[in-house]
A = this chain, B = another copy of it.
Amino acid sequence: MIHRRIALLAAGGAFAAPAFLRPAAAQAPAATAPAQAPGFYRFRVGGFTVTMVHDGFFGRPLEGFVRNAPLAEVQAAAAAAFLPTDRQVIPFTITFVQRGDTLAVFDTGNGVTPAGATAGRMIANMAAAGIDPARVTHVIHSHFHGDHVNGLLNAQGARAFPNAAVLVPEPEWAWWTTEGNQTRSPEMQRGNFANVARRFAPYQGAVTPFRPGAEVIPGITSVAAPGHTPGHTIFRVADGDAQMMFLADLTNRPEILMANPDWQIVFDFDGDLAAATRRRVLDMVATDRIRVTGYHFPFPANGYVAKQGNGFRFVPADWSPVV
Contacts and interface: CB of A to CB of B under 8 A. Distances in A.
Contact of A321 (B15, B17, B54): B54
Interface stretch (A37-45, A169-177, A194-202, A238-246): A37-45
A15 B319 CA distance: 29
A210 to B, nearest CB: 24
- Looking at chain A's contact residues, the main secondary structure is loop
- How many protomers of this protein does the assembly include? 2
Contacts of A33: 323
A284 interface: no
Interface stretch (A21-29, A65-73, A150-158, A262-270): A21-29
B321 A56 contact: yes
A135 interface: yes
Contact of A319 (B23, B82, B298, B320): B298
A187 interface: no
B98 A2 contact: yes
Interface stretch (A126-134, A140-148, A212-220, A226-234): A126-134
Interface in A24-66: 24-25, 33-42, 49, 51, 54, 56-57
Given A21-B21, A316-B316, A303 B2 contact: no
B34 A323 contact: yes
* A contact residues, range: 35 or more
A83 interface: yes
A54 B22 CA distance: 19
Interface in A265-323: 289, 298-300, 303-304, 306, 315-323
B24 A21 contact: no
Contacts of A131: 1-2
A86 to B, nearest CB: 15
B36 A37 contact: no
Contacts of A56: 321
Interface of A: 1-2, 5-6, 15, 17-18, 21-25, 33-42, 49, 51, 54, 56-57, 80-83, 89, 91, 98, 101, 103, 118, 121, 128-132, 135, 289, 298-300, 303-304, 306, 315-323
- 6 closest Cβ contacts across the A-B interface? A17-B17, A299-B319, A1-B135, A82-B304, A17-B21, A5-B130
Given A25-B323, A83-B318, A298-B318, 4 more contacts: A2-B49, A21-B22, A35-B323, A37-B39
28 contacts: A1-B101, A1-B103, A1-B135, A2-B103, A5-B132, A17-B17, A17-B21, A21-B23, A24-B321, A25-B322, A34-B130, A34-B323, A35-B130, A36-B41, A36-B321, A37-B41, A37-B42, A37-B128, A37-B129, A54-B321, A82-B289, A82-B303, A82-B306, A91-B319, A118-B322, A298-B316, A299-B319, A300-B319
